[in-house]
Structures are given as C-alpha cells and as structure tokens.
Structure 1
Amino acid sequence: MANLKEIRGRITSISSTMQITSAMKMVSAAKLKKATDAIVMLRPYSEKLQEIIENVSSTVDLEGVSGYTEEREVNKVLYIVVTSNKGLAGAFNSAVIKELNLSVANAAHEIEILTVGKKVYDAVRRSRKVYDNQSAIFDGMSFEVVSNFVENVMKDFREGSFDKVYLIYNKFINAATQEVIKEQLLPIALPEKTEVSNTDYIFEPTAKEILEVLMPKSIKTQVYKAILDSVASEHGARMTAMHKATDNAEALRNDLKIFYNKARQAAITNEILEIVGGAEALKNS
C-alpha cells in the first residue's frame, strides 16, 4: 500500500492541475464569445456575396471575364489548411490533419500546402512541400492581413502554378461541436446554367465588371471566414476539453481522498493493535 505522504503529494498535484484546467476553460469561454460574434456577423455577408456572384454569372458568358473560374487538367493542387498554434483542444487539430492526410494519400498530382497554424505546419513540414506558413497570422488577424497572402495564391492560380485550391478547416457549429470541412476555393464552383430566365436585368456597371470586382473579394472572404470559423472552433474545443479534464481530475482526486482515508484508518488500526499487543505482552511477562 502506498505511504500516506505519497498519496498526499498526488492529491496536491491533481488539485493544482484542476486549477490550471479550470482557468484555461474560463479563458477559452471568454474568448469564445468574441470569436463567435465575429463569425456569426461574417457568415451572412459571405453567403450573400456568393449568391450575388451565382446570380450575375448566370446571365453572362464567363469566357474572358475572370481567371478564377477556369477548369483545367489537374497537375498541381494547393491545400490551405487551418489549425491552431496551441494544443490542449481535444481532437481539434488532429481531425484537420487526418482529413488532409486522407485527401493527399495516393494523389497522382503534385501537392503543396499552405499552413495556417503551427500544429499543421509541424505535422507536414518534413513530409510535404510547404508553399507558405502563415502561423503568425493569429497574433494580429484582420481581413487585410488574410488578403495579402490570399492575393499571392490567386495570382499563382491565374498564372497556372496551381490547377485547384482547397480549404480544410474546422467549421464552428457550437461550443461542443466542430465539423471538419474540405471545400474547393479555386476555381470558383458555379452552379450549372439551367433554364434561361425571361427577366432582363440592367447592370451598372456591366455584369462582367461586377464579376471582376466581386470574385476576388469573395475568394478572400471565403478564406477569412474559414479562419474565423477555425478560431471559434478552437476556443469551443479547448473549453470543452478543459471542462472534461477538470471533471476527470476532480473524480480522480475524490478517489484518492477515499483511498487516503482508508490507508490512514488502516495505519491507525495497526498502531492500536501494536499498542494493545505490547500492553498484553508486558502484562503476561
């Protein structure tokens, strides 16, 4: 049976761990509110922007309009993969890395990866070609900062350096649920034209000019939304993970306290028996 000093040390250690996990849970809960507000406000804008592009593109011939809708033979693919810089968030990072590995496994075409987050960068830097690492973006994230590196991706796609670009990230559902999403960023996937509408719209400026402005903005917004989704998901996942860790630590501490009390009672009983036995021995001597 473990000695009482060792058990007391373990109880103290677990209590300290509980304080840390509880504090981390509260910090993530506070950050989650701000991150949730940001993604909730951006989603309607992003969805409406894509809807406008789909509606306008259905009325014009896209040939020569933009280099972002061109479908071509796939020889090289870029994956933009978003994780976090820190761990202790359950399966948040590993789920994204697993989806990436499944996507690139046995790929017949060349693969490059743009990493957003240290966790995915550390996972792929020795085994895959890294196009760019944007892990520092979380220190001062804004739409302008995201636009800068997405602009390079868009330029390389237009020039034929990549034939497809995919996004892999965690979509925020709620504090306890995140969904790993893989979506095509480039070329822009537009719905097939069906029945021609009899409605004749008048555009100012022209429909082609509208698409030339909106398509780049939509691509940048899509990446920015993915990163905001990932940030909110990270805080939700960490809050949930730290809540479970705190509960598990509390249960373990309670079990150790019961074990400690039993061991203490056994030690006291042994001491009493030794005293009684000694007294009896003296009486009989």
Structure 2
Amino acid sequence: MANLKEVKGRIQSVTSTQQITKAMKMVAAAKLRRAQDRITQMRPYSQKLSKIIGNVSAGVDTSSIENPYAEVRPVNKVLLVVVTSDRGLCGGFNSSIFKQVRAVISEKYADVERAGNLTILPLGKKANDFYTKRGFNVIDEHHLIFHNLDFTHSMEASDVAMNGFIKGEFDKVELIYNEFKNVATQIVQVEQLLPIEATSEGEEDLSTSTDYIYEPSQEFIFSEIIPKSLKVQFYKALLESNAAEQGARMTAMDQATDNAGELLKELKLTYNRTRQAAITKEILEIVGGAEALAQGG
C-alpha cells in the first residue's frame, strides 16, 4: 500500500489537473459560442450559393463559353485540403480526420500516391506536423490559418487550390474537415471543391428546363462570381471545423474533469484507509510496548 505522502501528492496533482480541465472547458465554451454564431450565419448563404453555382455550371452551353472550374480531366494529380486543429486535447477530433484521409487515399487515390502526385494542403498545425513527418508532398504556407481566421486568410489558402487547378497542377481538389453538428458530435465531411459538380438539386432543376439570364455576361459570371463563391465554400468549411473543434474540446475537457473527480474519490478513499492503517499500527505498537513494560515490571 502506498504511503501517505505519495497518496497526498497524487491528490494534489489530480486536483490541479481538474482545475485546469475545468478552466479549459469554460474557455472552449466561450469560443464555441462565437464560432457557432459565425457558422449558423454562414450556412444558409453558403448552401444556397452552392446550389445556384452547381445549377449554373451544369446549365452553361460549353460550346459558347469555357468554364475552367468545371473542367473534368483524367485524375493524375490530386490536392487534398486537410483541416485540423492547431492544438490537441480535443478527443478524437484530429485522429478521425487522419483516418478519413487515409481511407480516401486508399479507396480513390492509391495510384496517384504511388506516383508521387498526391499533395496535401494542411490547414491546422496538427495536420502539417502529421503529414510532414510522414513524407507527403505538403504545401505548408497556410497551416497556421486558425491563428487569425478570417475571410482574407481563407481566400489566400483557397487561391492555392484554385490557381493550381486552373494551371493544371491538380486535376481534382477535395476538402476533408469536421462539420459541426452539436457539442458532442462532429461529422467528417469529404467534399469535392474542384472541378465543380452539379448537385442533385441542380439536376432536378435542370430537368425542368430552367433557363438562366446572365447579366452582364457569361464571361463575367465565370471569371468573377464563381471564383468568389468557391472561396465562400472554402471559408465555410473552415468555420465548420473551428466550431467543431471547440465543441470537441469542450466535451473532452468535461469528460476529463469528471474522470478526475472519480479518481479523486478513489485516492481520498485510499488515503483514509492508509491513514487508518497507520494509526492502527501505531496503537498496536503502543499497546505492545505498554504490555512489555508491564511484564518487565
């Protein structure tokens, strides 16, 4: 049985850890509130815009105008945009992303990876560290984007993917990130950013012979509006991941606080038992000594 000093030291250590996890939970809750407000405001706009862009892209007369963002090419070079957090202590938030990326590569891009044509754009320090250590082709210019997450920095990162696709450096670009559902649930999403795909809703709209009027022109729409809308979709994924991260961290810290409380109960019980055993031993020694003196007298 451990001595009293060791048990007391462990109690103090667990108590300190519990105070830290409580504080981290409160910080995560405050950050989650702000992140949740941002993503709930962005979602309706982003979803409607995505539907419209899918419809317009599918409805364009390719003989009259070329849509460079919808060009389908043989997939020889792929860019995966992997969104994680900068720090840990958020449960399985990052590991679920890494597992999904590995599954996507194995199922769809194994040949591309073997040919050395798979590139990772990590957004988040954890992703950058993970894929750099494993020897992947990594574009590490924007991995600290969550230090100052805003549309300007998101646009700079999305330009890497979009310009690379236009120049033929990548034949397909996919986003892999955690979508925020609630505090306890994050859903890993894999979305094709480029080339633009017509959504299922868009296909239904097109089947009814929807006719679009382009103002000022199709050329303007595809040179200005579509790139901006893609950047909005990109930014929305980052906001989703940010909110999901804070939810995951809040849940993880809440569980850690509860676990620390259970451990403290066990340690205090052990401390009391150890203390009682020590007192009993001292009493027995005193009684034994008294009896020995009495017999000697």
Q: Shorter-chain TM-score: which interval?
A: over 0.9
**1: distance between equivalents of 2:23 and 2:62?**
54
Q: SS where residue 135 of structure 1 aligns? A: coil
State the partner residue of 2:82. 81
State the partner residue of 1:30. 30
Q: Evaluate the alpha carbon distance shift between residue 200 and residue 270 of structure 1 in structure 2; reply closer, same or farther with a 3 A threshold.
A: closer
State the partner residue of 1:174. 182
Give the superposition deviation at 1:103. Answer: 1.9
Could you report, residue by residue, the CA deviation over 1:91-144 in whole angstroms, capped at 9, with x for unpaired residues?
Answer: 101111111122223711120010111101111113201133412211222112
Give the superposition deviation at 1:59. Answer: 4.0
Could you report, residue by residue, the CA deviation over 1:247-276 in whole angstroms, capped at 9, with x for unpaired residues?
Answer: 101110111101110111111111111111
How many equivalent residue pairs?
Answer: 285
Q: Evaluate the alpha carbon distance shift between residue 14 and residue 40 of structure 1 in structure 2; reply closer, same or farther with a 3 A threshold.
A: same
Choose between structure 1 and 2: higher helix proportion: 2
Q: SS where residue 132 of structure 1 aligns? A: coil
- Pick aligned residue for 1:221 from 227, 232, 235: 232
Give the superposition deviation at 1:156. Answer: 1.6
Give the superposition deviation at 1:164. Answer: 0.2
State the partner residue of 1:143. 151
- Pick aligned residue for 1:123 from 105, 120, 130: 130
Unaligned runs of 5+ in 1: none
Deviates more, 1:52-61 or 1:103-112: 52-61
**2: distance between equivalents of 1:196 and 1:8?**
73
Give the superposition deviation at 1:284. Answer: 1.6
Q: Structure 2 length normalisation: TM-score?
A: 0.90
**2: distance between equivalents of 1:237 and 1:258?**
32
Q: Percent same amino acid at aligned positions?
A: 52
**Would you say the 8 A contact 2:120–2:139 is kept in 1?**
yes
State the partner residue of 1:17. 17
Give the superposition deviation at 1:210. Answer: 2.9
**Would you say the 8 A contact 1:156–1:162 is kept in 2?**
yes
Q: Structure 1 length normalisation: TM-score?
A: 0.94
**Would you say the 8 A contact 1:116–1:133 is kept in 2?**
no
- Pick aligned residue for 2:167 from 159, 175, 178: 159
Q: Evaluate the alpha carbon distance shift between residue 193 and residue 95 of structure 1 in structure 2; reply closer, same or farther with a 3 A threshold.
A: closer
Letter in 1 for 2:110: A
Paired residues for 1:204-283 under 5 Å = 204-207=215-218, 209-283=220-294
Q: Does 2:48 correspond to 1:65?
A: no
Give the superposition deviation at 1:56. Answer: 3.0
**Would you say the 8 A contact 2:83–2:241 is kept in 1?**
yes
Letter in 2 for 1:15: T
State the partner residue of 1:4. 4
Q: Evaluate the alpha carbon distance shift between residue 70 and residue 23 of structure 1 in structure 2; reply closer, same or farther with a 3 A threshold.
A: same
Q: Does 2:197 correspond to 1:189?
A: yes
RMSD between superposed Cα atoms in Å: 1.8
Unaligned runs of 5+ in 2: none
Give the superposition deviation at 1:196. Answer: 4.8
